[in-house]
Amino acid sequence: CWVCLGWFKANNGVGTLPMSITETEVTEELNNLNFPVHSVIRLTNKDKVPTPLLALNLLNNQKAQEIFKLNKLLNYIITIEPR
C-alpha cells in the first residue's frame, strides 16, 4: 500500500526549493537515505506552471514515518508537512 505522506519544501530564506532541483535528484537522495520512495512529483499551479513544491509518495511503513524528522536534503533546510 502506498500513501502520500507530505509536501516537501525548502526554507532557504525565500521559502522555495530551486526549480533546478529535479524530482529525480530528490528521489535518488531519499533512496540513499533508505526512505521507501515510490514517486516524487513536482506540483503545478492552476495554469499548469511548475511550483517549488514536491509531493512525496512513500511506502507506508515505519521508515516512511521518519520522513517528518528529516530537516536537511541536498544542502537545503527543508520542511515536510503532512498532506
Q: Is the pLDDT of residue 58 over 60?
A: yes
Give the tens place of pLDDT for each residue, 8-56. Answer: 555 544 456 778 889 999 999 999 999 999 888 888 889 999 887 888 8
Q: Is the pLDDT of residue 4 over 80?
A: no
Q: Is 16 left (phi over 0), alpha (psi -120 to 50) or beta?
A: beta
State the Cα angle at 41 between 15 and 3, rounded to 5°. Answer: 105
Give the tens place of pLDDT for each residue, 66-83. Answer: 888 888 888 877 877 776
- Alpha helix locations (H) across 1-83? 23-32, 62-65
Among 23, 3, 26, which Cα is nearest to 72's?
26
β-strand partners of 44: 50
Residue 49 C-alpha cell reads as 506552471
User: Does the predicted model carry a pTM greater than 0.85?
Assistant: no
DSSP, collapsed to helix, strand or coil, labels residue 33 as: coil
